[in-house]
């Protein structure tokens, strides 16, 4: 079990909405182009289960991503993520819309991002999280870098971090044990 730094736990305790990037966070960052013209992405089932656990504790979730994909829409629907912003050129604009739609202030938001466009959100949210393969500029600005790789449980680790900070992890886990 990962031991989270006290400073990060303190910020995570206030989190009411977790924003996720997709490529390089929920996936390993690779995009597979299919011969028929479509594309494929792989999502981690542990990330999905942990997101559902987190949402079950009352923390909302959102996706803000620069690319547009039907696959992302489908995955968000499966997980119950209702705030989905795709094809976003300026993520700060989507964040403003998200604040209005959700009624949640940026002071209680966390973001998991991996690339330079995510810095727009890092400059505005309370808790900045990233993955080991992130762009160096993102890593230097992050409050926490996951031990798990992108698309391989990194989001599950972030969900555990937030639930641990909010003392809801054991209760969420108890539903399965």
Tens-place pLDDT, residues 15-72: 999 999 999 999 999 999 999 999 999 999 999 999 999 999 999 999 999 999 999 9
Q: What is the pLDDT of residues 73-103, one digit of tens each?
A: 999 999 999 999 999 999 999 999 999 999 9
Q: Residue 138: which CATH number? A: 3.40.50.1000
Burial of 152 (0-12, 13-18, 19+ CB in 10 A): middle
Indicate the pTM of the whole model: 0.96
What's the pLDDT at 176?
87
Residue 122 lies in a domain: yes
- Domain extent, residue 28, equals 6-174
Instruction: State how far the Cα of 159 lies from the Cα of 61, in Å rounded to an integer.
Output: 10
Residue 58 lies in a domain: yes
Tokens of 41: 């992405």
Instruction: State how far the Cα of 70 lies from the Cα of 140, in Å rounded to an integer.
Output: 32
User: How many domains is the chain partitioned into structurally?
Assistant: 1
Ramachandran class of 4: left when φ > 0, alpha when ψ lies in -120 to 50, beta otherwise: beta
Residue 26 lies in a domain: yes
Instruction: State how far the Cα of 105 lies from the Cα of 123, in Å rounded to an integer.
Output: 14
């Amino acid at each position: 079990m990962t031991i989270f730094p006290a400073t990060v736990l303190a910020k995570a305790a206030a989190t009411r909405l977790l924003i996720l990037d997709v490529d390089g966070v929920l996936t390993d960052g690779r995009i597979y182009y299919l011969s028929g013209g479509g594309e494929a992405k792989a999502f981690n089932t542990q990330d999905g289960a942990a997101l559902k656990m987190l949402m079950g504790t009352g923390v909302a979730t959102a996706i803000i991503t620069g690319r547009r994909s039907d696959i992302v829409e489908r995955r968000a629907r499966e997980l119950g993520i209702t705030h989905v912003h795709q094809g976003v050129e300026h993520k700060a604009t989507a964040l403003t819309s998200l604040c209005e739609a959700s009624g949640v202030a940026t002071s209680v938001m966390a973001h998991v991002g991996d690339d330079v466009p995510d810095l727009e959100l890092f400059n505005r949210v309370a808790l900045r999280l990233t993955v080991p393969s992130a762009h160096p500029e993102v890593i230097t600005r992050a409050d926490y870098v996951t031990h798990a790789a992108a698309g391989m449980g990194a989001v599950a680790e972030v969900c555990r971090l937030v639930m641990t900070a909010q003392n809801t992890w054991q209760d969420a886990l108890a539903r399965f044990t």
